[in-house]
Structure formats: C-alpha cells, structure tokens
Structure 1
C-alpha cells in the first residue's frame, strides 16, 4: 500500500460503500437548486422583450390581423429559442467548470488507496489526509504521522493542533486544514451532519457580488428601459391625439419600446463570461467564478512565489558542505564515508513520510549512500514543527534499545544561530551561504544534539546543537519562463517575487528567469517593521520580497491593493493561503499546489505552467474588448431603428408607420445572435497584449466611446432617412419606400457589424481574424432579405415591394457611405499614433 499506510487498514468493500450511501446519503451540504430547462424557460418568458412581443400579438388578434399575430407568436418562439440556447450553453459551461472544481479525496477501500470525488465519501470510509489538504468529513483518527491541523474555521483559534490516534482529542472535522504530516481517519459524519454542516455554512447561501462591469451594464440597461417607457407613453399619446385609435396607438408605442430595449446586452454579458471561463478550462485554466474572467484582463501586478511557480520544484541535491572536514562535496562524491553522518542526520530531520520535495530527495540520497537503512528500527517519539523566523524543525527518534537520534534542519541562519559555533566560524558559514545563494542554490543547515532527559525544552532552540553542515539544492527555473515574463512585461504588467527563500538565492533565480529590477530586496521582518507610508513606498519600488511568512505576504498584497493595483497572487503552499485569498485573483498550481492553496485561490492552473496565466489574461482582455464591441454595435444600430420608427410619426411625414412590429422584430432576430454569439467568437486583436491594462474601475463605455457609437448611429439614421425622402421625392408608394428604407438599414447593419470588429484596425485587416460565424450570420441575413423582397407571400406580409437591381445598389451605396466613413476615422487614428 502506498503512503506507508499500515497493511491492517483495509477500508470498506464496494458492497459496504453502497449500503452506507443508501443509509446516510452523499457527502454534501444542503442540495443547491440547479436550474433545469423548465426554470430557464420560465426565466426567459419573464424577459421584457418577450412580454412586449406577447402584448403586440394580443393586440393583433384583437384587431383581427391574424397573419401579423401569427408572425409575432412565431417570433416570440424564435427569440425564446435563441435566449434558451444561449442560457443553456452558458449553464452547461458553468456546470462543466463546477464539476472540474469539485475536490478529490483519498480513501482506503478494498485494501487499496484511491481518489474519489469528495461528495462520494461515505460513513465508515477510511479517509487519508496529508499536509496542505482540506479535511472533508468528520471522523476519528486511526493512524497518523506528525499530524497537525488548523481548526480556525470552527474554533477561531489560529494555532495548529497536533493530534494522533492516542490523543484525548483524536477527532478531525470537515472544513479544517491539515498543516503537517499525514492521518488516516474513520469517517463518522458527512454532509449536513458534520459540525460545519450543522453551523449551516453552505455555498448556496453565499451571495456572489456583482462585478463593476456587471453593475455598470445593469444600470445602463435599466436606464434604457426607463427611456423606453417614456417614449412608449409619448408615442401612445401623440398617436391617440392624431387618430383616436387606442389599439393602434398602443401598437405604435409598443413597436418603439421594442426598438429601444437593448435586451441583447445582459444576455451577451452572461454568454461572454460563461463561455470565456469554459474555453479557458479547455486550455487548462480552471476559473471558479466566471466573473473572474473580466478581472483577469485588468491585472496590473503579478505577485509570484518562487519555488514551484518560477522553478521546477525538483529540488536536486547539488552539493553538500561538511563542517567537520571543512569541504564541499559534489554529487559524484556523496558516497564518501565522511558524509555518512551528515546525510543521515539530514534525513532524520525530515518527515518519516516526506511530502516536501527536498525531504523526498534527502530520503532518496540516504538510501543510495548508506550501507544500512536504519529507518525501520527507529520511531519518531517527539518533534518540534517547522517554526521560527527564520524557521527550523527538530525530530527526536528512538529505537527499542533506547538509542536516540536528535536531528534538526532549517534555514541555515536559524541553524548556525543555535549551534556551538564561534563568531569566526559563523562568519565563515555565512560566507558559504551567500556564495551558494548567488549561484541560485537553496541551502539548508543541519545540526544534531545529544539529549537523554525526558524533560524536553519548551522550544527547540534551547537544545545544545552541534552544527554539522549544509545541504545545497538546485531548483532550476522552468523551461521557457523567460519568454513568459517578457510577455507579462510587454502587456504592461509589473512582477513581484514573494518567497520564503533567502535573498541571494531568490535574486539569482529571478535574474535567470528574466525578472527585471532585482538589485534590491526586502525581507519579511523588514516589511512588518515599516510604517504605512514607508510600506507603500517600498512595495511600489521593490520587486523581490524574501524570507516572507504568511502575514508578510498578506501585508504586501494588501498594500498593492491600496495603491489601486489589480493583484494576481501565484502560490502553491500552505503559507500562500492568506495572500491568495486576499488578492483580486488568487492563482494556485494544480499539480503541486496544496489543497489549502487551491481552496483559497479563484483560479487553478492544472499543469502548473505559468504561461497559462498569460492565456488567461489575454482571454480576459479579449472578452472585455469584445463585450464593448458588442455593446457599441447594439447602441449604434438601435439609434436608426428608434429614429426611423419615431421621426416620421412625430414630424407628420407622408408614411408615418414606415416600420411596424414585424420589421423591428426581424431586425432584433438578426442583432441578437450577432451581439451575443458572433462577437463572443471574435479572436483577439494583435495589439491586445502590448497595451497597458485597463483600470478595474473604468466604465465599460467612456464618453468618447459612447459618443463614437452615437455618431455612428446618427449617421446611419441620416442615410436611412435620406433614402426615405429620396423615395418620397420620386413618387414611390409606401411599400416601395419601406422596402428601400428596410434594405438600406439591413445593409448598414451588416457593414456596421464588420467595421466594429475593430475600433483601430481597418476592415480588411480584421478579415485576417478568422470568425466563421460572421460569414454564417451575414449569409443568412442576406438570404432572408432576398426572401422577403422577392417571394410574393413574404413580400405581402412585410408590406414590401420587390426592388430592382439598381435600387439594391443604391441602398448598398448609401449604407456604405453611412457606415464606412468610420474606416477613414480609424485610418487617421492609426496615422496620428504612428506620427506621435
């Protein structure tokens, strides 16, 4: 059995698992209500656009226009289907993310260790929990090694507690965290029956706050709805005053209200976020909340741990310095008899069942170099966990004859401080530590002690230690990490390294990894001693933060947030948890990250590739940019629809009802998919990742951008109404004028959707960004337009007359002039930037 689990621990059989599950249920809190297709459909029916369509349909039935009523009912079904498709697509994407986010637990069943989804743990299971993992059920410890647990989530006590099977309190609880060692516990309560469950802390009760962008979009749509109500009442009043026909007045008012309401925008936002998170999941980036995608694009500072994030976390033992012989040995010399004792004590100071890569390496080197493996003959009977600033740890082993081994290891500064060294010897060791650090090596000090008493010192630093030497590890930077950091800098994002390692090693590795401005560094104890003003200045100026512990890491992250930075914190260890939780975006490593880090993070990189964070940031920027494009498109195209419906009526033109509800709904059926499906699929523009990040507090449309959209809409309106007046001047009847105006607006809509693919690059440059959905939607739009112009039954229904080829060309030219002037604006903008 793996993990050094005793062979007598067999666990449940498959039959016992099924029986327990049948009796006690699944290991989950109160069942969270999931939206099924019926709930989605009911939510869609409540949408304002659907209510308007239904009201218009009823009016048509009342006045006896059954053809129009039927079309409205069909349109109602079509709009519902599009909304349902989008909502269901978003729902499935979020469910896929939720499933991938579900934690796994290790249990012993049928005599073997296996990983299962946490919700499948049953009462009676033997569950295994290791250092850095979250405990997912309540139970009683039956076996442990150096096991301590942090129960602050239940008790509020921040200090960890050591527990074992013989301890008076040998119980563990769901929601608490294993700080060190390993334990096997028999599950006694699951789900709602755990202490955590009884407190009533359920995920379903936590209300997720709206992001700034969600709030801004919601406010914008609400304001547009209010404007729609005002215009509806105004149109109804004017119409009724002129014709005294209540139903016709209501119909005209509802037509205009439908043209004002930008119901595509909230649908587009939800779709963009959910599908963005789903696409990132396929890239190996798991987003826990879809709104994080938006925040990713605003990242201004990346704070990264060193070990396992910048480096491979391979911890290869490169050299050993033996104090007794005053000699440094290379790998080829590790079998030298002079090193036997030092290697042995380095191993004994490690965990009996190692989790840390350095400790695993020390165990492996011990096996390769020692003539006799004494590990089975000794048992750990007393220990001091890793603590202190800088930290160290001490283990006491004993065999059946009472022979003792007292071994310590830790930060070399900590070890030589507590050892029997003269000032000259300490100075010499410091010089070696500095020398190793400058080469990028990670160094640990090793010491031993002779202690026969059973009255153990209160703190490990009080043992009489004999300094033995240094073990020197090399953890190289990950391959390709230089290119990753260059991309980060190109994107206008700062990098800070926050690590528990010493300054010299950190500076060397950071420089090898391509991190800039590594000359100066601050240590954790220095950070905590600074005043608020000094802290803000130092955090802004410095890149390297070394010998950092959890409180110091948290202090740096909070200081950066106070400066208005959007902080992404990368980490994989237990001590990274608070900083990961506090950052705007906590990023944990999926392979080597601890459960605590993953639980605290809002984003998990499954393969530990830092380059995937760049993918995430690029996706966040692409999505934000595309949302803006979609919204600007919707604003611009709604303006000519609103004004074409209202101005002829208010100004008393010859054909006051140039558009009826069927024409508006046809346009809505085109705009909806263009906004929420086509623009969502738009690739990233080539200059996206060489721009500075936007401020998180920026509005989704500033006044300049809103003004451009309004101008685009007004110029299209001028073009459409010019065609209207042109037709009237040349004696066209209502059907012909309507056909010309409607066709011009359709052509303008197509050209607007294409030119708004970029607000910087030309239309032709945008064609290089392949988006097959544009071709599909444009083709379908043109086919439908031809159908309603030239198939008699449809032409009669829409009150249109067929257009000659020359008329189509004229409509196309007016639409092109109305829209493509924007290409000239973009050209001037590009040239001004180049000249500037």
Structure 2
C-alpha cells in the first residue's frame, strides 16, 4: 500500500534541490585518498620478488652481462604486470560490491514520494524513514507515528529512544537506526557536516580483521621467507668458499632465495576471495567482506527466521473470527456487515501509515469493505508501541467531535490475557488459536477499550479491554523451499528455525517446508530461564525456537557458537539484528529485509531466494578447496626448483649452476598465473556439496596434506636429478644437461597442475570439469618451451641446446613417472572407500 503523504508536506522543487546541492554539497563523507599510478607502482615494487629481481639485474650490469640484465628488467615488467592485473581485478570486484551496498532513500519532492540514491539527499529534503531503516542525514522530525531510534552508533547506548515532532525530542542523526514506526524528517545537515561526518566515522575506516585462514597463510609465508634467508646465506658462503667470487656467490644465493619465496600464495588468496565475492554478486549474493567467502564453506548450522525467509511474507488474510457471533468468515465474505467492527478495530490498531505486510493488508481490507472511510477524520493522539513478550500494541484516535477509538491488537495469547473474558471462554479461544496454528496460519487477537479521561495508565495492559476476535493470515512457504532444505541437509548442515511466531504455526510451516525433526520446539521465555548447561543441551536437541525476542535469538546463536558450530543466521526484521551481528555469517534478505538487518548482516541475498545461500556455501567450499590445491601445487613445484638449484652446488656436481636466475624467473612466471588465475577458475568437484562441512579450527593444510605435497615435490626432484645424472653419464654438455633438466621440470609442472586438480578423482575424471584457462596456460608454456629450445637466439640466451624427439620423450617419460604415480595413490584411496 502506498504511503499517504500529509498534504502540508510538499518538499523541495527540482530547482531548490540543485541550489541546495550547490550550496551544501552532496550527502557523502570525504572520499578516501585515491591511489595514484605512482603509489600503485611503489606498492608493487615493494614486493620481495621484485626486490630480488632488481638486485640480480644490478649484479648482471656490474659483471657486464647486459643480455641477462635486460631479461631481468623485462621480467620485472612481466611480474609487475601480472601483479597489477591481479590487483586491478580484485579492486574492481570490490568496488562493484561497494556500489551495490549503497541503499536508496525515500524523499518527498514537489509533493511526490520518490526513491533516490542516498548520496543525492540534500539539505531541505523531506526524508521518510520507517522501521528497520537507517537514517541517512541529520534533521528534525516534522511528522511521526510510534517512532523510536537506536542511537548506539553515536552514543553507545543500546536502548531505543522514542522521538516525535515535539521540540525536545525532534532531532535525529545520520547513522542511527529506526527501530519502530515512521517519521518524516526535514534534513538540516548532509555528508561531512552531519554529526557522524564530524566524528569521522566511516565503514571505510574500519580495519577488517584477518580471518584464521589469512593468519595461517601469513605464518606459512613468513616461515618460508625465513628459510629462504638462511639458505641464501648458506649458498653464498659455500659458493664464496669454492670460487672466492663475491658477485657470483651473491647471484647464486639470490637465485635460490627467489626459488624459495612463495610470493604467489598471498596473491592467490586475495584473488580467490575478491573474485569469489564478485562471482557471488553476479548470482545475487552481496558479500560485505570478501573473507566471509571462506567462512561460508564451513557453515555447520543455519538458523533461519520463518516470516519472509522460509515463507513468502505475503500475509494473505484467510479468515476473520468474530467473537460476538462465534463465527468464522473467509473471502469473499469479508464485506459482511457483522464484520465491520472487527475490521474497523484491526485497522485502527495498525500504524496510520503501514509498513508491515499484515497491516498493509488490514488497511486494504478496510478500504474495500467499509462504506465510509474515516481515516482522515480521526487523528492519532496517544499510542502504546509494540512491546511485551509476546507483544501487543494499542492506538488511541480522536476526531474533532472528541469521539474516541481505542484499538489494540497483538499475539492472541496476550490479547486474551488482558481481555475481560471468563476463563472457560479463554480456554475455548486458546483451542481455536491452536487449531488455526496447526494449519500454518498466523493469528492476531483484536480488542477495543472504552477508557475515558486523559490519565492513561503507564502500561497498555492495564486498560480495560473487550475482546472482538481474531484476524487470521496465511503466509505460505516459498516455492521450491523443500528442495533447498534437502540440499542443506545433504551438505551435512543442521537447520534451526528461530521465530517470533507461535509454536503451532511454526511447526506446521516448518513441516510443509521440509524441515526435519520439526516436533522439537521451545519458546523464548523458556530459553532465557535455562542454566548454561541446560542451554547447551537444548540448542543441540531442539529445532524450532518460537516466540523468540531479540535477546533470546542472540542467546541461541551464542550458545551454538560455544559448541564450536559455524553459524549462519538468516533474518529480515529489526528483532533479528543482534543475532545477525553475532553469527559467523549474518544473512539478510535484500528485497523485503529491513535496513537494520542489512547493516547487521555480512551477506545480503538480493532477491530473498534462500537457494542463493546454497550457492554461497558451495562457492565457499569450492574456493577453500581451490586455495588448498593452489598452495599444495606451489609447495610441490618449489621443492624441485630449490633442490635443483642447491644440491649440485652443495654436492660438488660437475655443473653446479644448472639453473641461473633466468631459468628460475621463467618458472616463476609460469607458476604465478597457474596458482592464482588457473586454480581460481577451477570448477567445483562433484559431490563437494555431499561432504560434511570442514571445522573452522582445521588448519588450511594438515600434516597429512602437507606431507603429500612434500612427497610429490621430492619425487619430482628425484626425476629431475636422475635426468641430470643420466645426461652427464651419457657425456652431455652443460647446455644439453640444462635443456634436459629444464624440459623435464616444465613437463612435470604441467602434469602436476593437471593431476592436482583433484586429490581424490582421477586425472581423466577431472577433464570433465572444463577450465579453459588451464588449457591456455598449458599451451602457452609449451610454445615458450619450444621457442627456448629451438629458436637459436632464445636457446643461446637460456644457455640450452635443442633436443631430439627421443630426448623430449625421455624427459616426458621421467616427468610422467615423477608425477603420475599420484594417480595410483588416488586410485588406492577410492578403492579403500576413503571419502574425499
């Protein structure tokens, strides 16, 4: 139902809007300093790999090897370009997400209601804010209904404050949240001139906390860097002892340091997370923090609200029960004269400007069935807001003849409790409520009062009430919701329903939606009365949590977290805010969700389709698995590079410098894109969503996984060193031996990137997962290798000779044996029935 704009509220004209924007500016805080090309370049040049390349280039210049120096400078350009490309992809992905996070605001301009981007609000605008919305400018209230605000963002005080057009309570501030009701605000300050702007608080200024996976990766990279420094010093010392040549010793040491440094890993992590968030955005899932993608895949429990999450939130009016006649009516009989009083008081107990779906329906039914529309004749002069456990609300209206209407509605239990009815009648009504609830209907009780005088009691429950009847709504489960829950259960994820509705209605809807063990239910007041040990047992056992209020929802979420569960909380209402904020993953509904829910959540589903959460969890599992594959690939391929550079030197073999920096940087230029681009694009393996969630406490590589990667690397090293010694025994020159070793390592690298696509399924099974980037990188690598071996200028530069077909076959065979033994290991795992 559209908002009825009071006639005296006209707002600014288009000319006045332009003038205000010119004079006071846009509704934006100062933009952060934009990165210049120079600062971006300096950031890239601080990378350890580039510092090593610069050092090697300078040494080549000093010793007069200008060709090698030029190649190193070209390598610097190539590495910088790859880094810039990756940074740019990540940055653009995150910028796209930020744009989607800007909310729209309702304003009155030239007497018309319109929605505009929040940054377009100007001083003098009439801004409309309602329950669940963030206030986006400073101003004064000029019109309100039952309006309260949470100002904790500015004051730290968590309790809501009621505000009205009264001079003492009419100021509201940007960054605060409307908890109830509706208000029209005349905007006084925007952007940096708001109280929030002066404090300098902005989301951009909050430092994002590192995730457990980020911390583990940083620790791993730091450890490898320390090992690299130690080996660098050791190689320098050994080489200087043998040659007494400082520059050559430094060159060898830097070559090895370059081979040890796993700089691809942090780049890969950033790329995976940013692009993962961007891909989910295209699916209609907005991720506020890219690191949440990693957490998604670990979800073990989904706590979901009922209304608007499991159900459509359409609130169709199904029945009207009139107590005086003891009769239930359904459409098309709502226009029956006997129902006039019940419909009247159900509407008057709603907000004059409704925003709740049920209240919008009641206003519509009133408009369609009543002979005379009295809404403009009566003014709200006193109100009791929605409160209590379970809640009720009461509105007092009066016309110019001082005729009063005092209407109340709320949870049927509380309306019966305050109504003047015999106890046996109350019991009869409770059975009727139970019958309606058992069919999945949502029931509200309606009552009237005839209180005279102006000395109103402090609590609405103390007014004398006459019970009128029930309004009965049906909010059906969403289409396809059963299949969604089937997928959730198949993925090993538990489901809890946490709702403010009553037990019977919730149980019926949950059963229709396909939620398992829906008989297990407990109410919010019982939850709050439990001891810590009892609470732990209850949250483990129960599935339905009904008549829940914000504190009770928060208590359940925290109890689940204490049990080690990774909790995703789904909600769309104001009362879901605390639980959304506390959960590992707060999920808000983007279409019908309140802004409070969206602000508190870390993830927003734009079209309210719960199936999008499954897509998010699948993406989280895919990304986490692919990060592990990328890191295991990097560990495995670095080992043969490190040992091929160092062992001939330490063991005094005939060709101690089989690899120079040129060869190592070529390998690095292949490994970087393979790690961070190719594996990021790797599709999800089959049956991934049939596995149990991983535990958050798991390290990204356990000892078993790490040992597999080390063994892979060592066996490749054996193959490479075997080809070295075999070629030497055949009387091969240094250039020919280098060509055989280099080619074998390139072939091994390609095969490793293929076999490590899955640590469970066979290489041939993995080919079913199309990844054109992998094909592209493989072809490019083989073409470059062919150029190095068979183009004289390139062969001379890399100090290699061309290889015969038989020698290429030999290198390929050794590489295949060194890598493809792993296929046998995977086959053995599958035969043993070891799960992926």
- Please state which band the TM-score falls in when normalised by the shorter chain: over 0.9
CA deviation digits over 1:618-663, x for unaligned, max 9?
0001000000000000000000000000000100111111111100
In the other structure, the counterpart of 1:622 is 622
- Tell me whether 1:435 sits opposite 2:407 in the alignment: no
Comparing 103-112 and 570-579, the one that deviates more: 103-112
In the other structure, the counterpart of 1:296 is 296
In the other structure, the counterpart of 1:189 is 189
Alignment of 1:755-770 (within 5 A): 755-770=755-770
Comparing 206-215 and 117-126, the one that deviates more: 117-126
Q: Secondary structure at the match of 1:680?
A: coil
In the other structure, the counterpart of 1:366 is 366
Cα pair 2:146 2:181 within 8 Å, conserved: yes
In the other structure, the counterpart of 1:673 is 673
Alignment of 1:325-724 (within 5 A): 325-724=325-724
In the other structure, the counterpart of 1:200 is 200
Distance 1:494 1:32 in 2: 42
In the other structure, the counterpart of 1:790 is 790
1:70: Cα distance to partner? 0.4
Distance 2:776 2:110 in 1: 55
Distance 1:365 1:459 in 2: 29
Q: 1:331 to 1:674 in 2, by over 3 A?
A: same
In the other structure, the counterpart of 2:829 is 829
Distance 1:578 1:30 in 2: 29
Cα pair 1:587 1:601 within 8 Å, conserved: yes
Distance 1:35 1:568 in 2: 35
1:190: Cα distance to partner? 2.0
1:36: Cα distance to partner? 4.3
Distance 2:144 2:391 in 1: 24
CA deviation digits over 1:489-538, x for unaligned, max 9?
11111100000000000001001101011112111100110011111111
1:299: Cα distance to partner? 0.6
In the other structure, the counterpart of 2:82 is 82
CA deviation digits over 1:10-33, x for unaligned, max 9?
323334333333333332334323
Cα pair 1:321 1:329 within 8 Å, conserved: yes
Distance 1:124 1:342 in 2: 42
Alignment of 1:47-126 (within 5 A): 47-126=47-126
Alignment of 1:307-318 (within 5 A): 307-318=307-318
In the other structure, the counterpart of 1:739 is 739
Distance 1:651 1:159 in 2: 73
Comparing 196-205 and 422-431, the one that deviates more: 196-205
Q: Secondary structure at the match of 1:479?
A: coil
CA deviation digits over 1:89-140, x for unaligned, max 9?
1011011111111222222234433222222322222211111111111111
Normalised to the residue count of structure 2, the TM-score between the two structures is 0.98
1:176: Cα distance to partner? 1.5
Comparing 679-688 and 327-336, the one that deviates more: 327-336
CA deviation digits over 1:285-306, x for unaligned, max 9?
0000100001111111100000
Distance 1:197 1:568 in 2: 32
CA deviation digits over 1:251-287, x for unaligned, max 9?
0000000000000000000000000000000000000
Q: 1:7 to 1:675 in 2, by over 3 A?
A: same
Distance 1:280 1:694 in 2: 21
CA deviation digits over 1:735-780, x for unaligned, max 9?
1111011000000000000000000000010011111001100000
1:336: Cα distance to partner? 1.8
1:178: Cα distance to partner? 1.2
Cα pair 1:762 1:826 within 8 Å, conserved: yes
Distance 1:799 1:111 in 2: 80
In the other structure, the counterpart of 2:280 is 280
Cα pair 1:40 1:87 within 8 Å, conserved: no
CA deviation digits over 1:670-692, x for unaligned, max 9?
00000000000000011110111
Distance 2:2 2:447 in 1: 30
Q: Secondary structure at the match of 1:129?
A: strand
Distance 1:792 1:652 in 2: 30
In the other structure, the counterpart of 1:3 is 3
Distance 1:488 1:666 in 2: 45
Distance 2:289 2:834 in 1: 40
1:835: Cα distance to partner? 11
Cα pair 2:445 2:471 within 8 Å, conserved: yes
Comparing 197-206 and 694-703, the one that deviates more: 197-206
Distance 1:220 1:37 in 2: 31
Q: 1:155 to 1:656 in 2, by over 3 A?
A: closer
Cα pair 2:588 2:604 within 8 Å, conserved: yes
Q: Secondary structure at the match of 1:4?
A: coil
1:158: Cα distance to partner? 3.6
Distance 2:334 2:714 in 1: 80
CA deviation digits over 1:543-577, x for unaligned, max 9?
10000000000000111111111111000000000
Q: Secondary structure at the match of 2:362?
A: helix
Q: Secondary structure at the match of 2:169?
A: coil
1:2: Cα distance to partner? 5.0
Q: 1:469 to 1:594 in 2, by over 3 A?
A: same
Q: Secondary structure at the match of 1:133?
A: coil
Q: 1:163 to 1:274 in 2, by over 3 A?
A: same
Q: 1:685 to 1:835 in 2, by over 3 A?
A: closer
Q: 1:50 to 1:362 in 2, by over 3 A?
A: same
Cα pair 1:30 1:202 within 8 Å, conserved: no
CA deviation digits over 1:60-80, x for unaligned, max 9?
000000000000000110010
Q: 1:363 to 1:283 in 2, by over 3 A?
A: same
CA deviation digits over 1:224-268, x for unaligned, max 9?
000000000000000000000000000000000000000000000
Distance 1:522 1:123 in 2: 49
Q: Secondary structure at the match of 1:713?
A: helix
1:346: Cα distance to partner? 0.8
Q: Secondary structure at the match of 1:362?
A: helix
Cα pair 1:586 1:601 within 8 Å, conserved: yes
1:167: Cα distance to partner? 4.1
Q: 1:769 to 1:65 in 2, by over 3 A?
A: same
Comparing 777-786 and 38-47, the one that deviates more: 38-47
Comparing 115-124 and 778-787, the one that deviates more: 115-124
1:197: Cα distance to partner? 2.7
Q: Secondary structure at the match of 1:180?
A: strand
Cα pair 1:317 1:361 within 8 Å, conserved: yes
Matched length: 836
Distance 1:813 1:448 in 2: 90
Distance 1:831 1:507 in 2: 44
1:155: Cα distance to partner? 3.4
Distance 1:387 1:211 in 2: 39
Q: 1:2 to 1:499 in 2, by over 3 A?
A: closer
Cα pair 2:3 2:354 within 8 Å, conserved: no
Distance 1:648 1:773 in 2: 35
Comparing 379-388 and 102-111, the one that deviates more: 102-111
The CA RMSD measured in Å over matched residues stands at 1.4
Alignment of 1:243-258 (within 5 A): 243-258=243-258
Distance 2:835 2:641 in 1: 39
1:397: Cα distance to partner? 1.1
Distance 1:463 1:8 in 2: 34
